[in-house]
Amino acid sequence: MKITVSGEVKEVKEGLTIAELIEQQNVENPQYVSVSVNDEFAKSEDFATYELKDGDNVEFLYFMGGGR
């Protein structure tokens, strides 16, 4: 099946979970990443069971703190 990850179309196996995708993509600091699928945020506790579907659009988002 094909999904889009951060703007790039990728061929992945059927039933791929968000957790597996995070591992495949070598996401830095996976404990701090937020994931949106089709513009909806997925809960981090669901990453291991959330199966992606053909045509899904996945974005990895990092929230940075800082300022004065």
Which domain CATH number covers 30?
3.10.20.30
Q: What share of the chain is helix, strand, coil (3-state, %, to 5)?
A: 20, 35, 45
Name, in order, each residue with C-beta under 8 angstroms of 22's C-beta and a sequence gap of 6 or more.
30, 33, 35, 47, 60
Residue 41 within a domain: yes
pLDDT of residue 63: 75
State how many domains the chain has. 1
Residues in Cβ contact with 13 at an 8 Å cutoff, skipping those fewer than 6 apart = 1
pTM over 0.75: yes
Q: Which domain holds residue 32?
A: 2-62
Is residue 68 included in any domain, yes or no?
A: no
| Residue 65 binned pLDDT confidence (cut-offs 50, 70, 90) | low
Q: Which residue has the higher pLDDT, 67 or 13?
A: 13
Residue 45 within any structural domain of the chain: yes
Q: Is the pLDDT of residue 68 over 80?
A: no
Q: What mean pLDDT comes out for the span 9-14?
A: 97
